[in-house]
Structure 1
């Protein structure tokens, strides 16, 4: 039986929140991560690391807090940063880049854009 090749892939996603509160940031980030994991059939052990960014109008909480509360994510490396403040860009947006080991090809990866963030990459959803 031939074993499938495993690759390190990047999986993108984003979500927006209505308000700059810790509760909304954590809830939206959790929703986004759960959608990415579900759509790509991942387990926490598959995830090599996660890079989060937030727009400058979000500073009530780190998005990584949401991942730390998820079962099995204790040892996943996480990093947060502030997004570039481009005039006219989507406000109150949390972006994520998940690095995961998978047998899926680049074309098979399911990127996830929720709420107002869906307009960022309509070509992928």
Structure 2
């Protein structure tokens, strides 16, 4: 069965260094917490808020050994007034035998506000 593994993180500034480093940190935790192997990943969607333009966050995934053939797409979030700024969101589509409630979704920095119900007692 294919499951979605969600994650999000915010950055303090719109710089390539910070965007790639934050995305790498988020992906590492998502991958480790859910014991994800690249061969079990169908695709990865990464979205950014409209204030992130200095780099493609997908660049971070290419820093992981074995992930060079995993399809990745970056896109822009809908600019809803009052929504969280400088936010990178990730959706991994993975083959998993885990139940929905066994998936560990990761929200870091200011992004914990997006899903506090899923973040209670984590990290």
Per the shorter chain, which TM-score range?
A: over 0.9
Partner SS, residue 14 of structure 1: strand
Looking at CA atoms only, which structure, 1 or 2, has the larger radius of gyration? 1
Partner SS, residue 84 of structure 2: coil
Partner SS, residue 89 of structure 1: coil
- Alpha-carbon offset, residue 47 of structure 1: 1.2
Residues of 2 paired with 1:65 and 1:77: CA distance?
A: 12
Unaligned runs of 5+ in 2: none
- 1:83 alignment partner, one of 77, 81, 86: 77
Residues of 2 paired with 1:66 and 1:45: CA distance?
A: 18
Q: How does 1:1-125 map to 2 (within 5 A)?
A: 7-125=1-119
Q: TM-score, normalised by structure 2?
A: 0.95
Root-mean-square deviation over aligned CA pairs: 0.6
Q: TM-score, normalised by structure 1?
A: 0.93
Query: Would you identify which runs of 4 or more consecutive aligned residues in structure 1 move more than 3 Å?
Result: none
Unaligned runs of 5+ in 1: 1-6
Residues of 2 paired with 1:70 and 1:60: CA distance?
A: 21
Residues of 1 paired with 2:48 and 2:29: CA distance?
A: 18
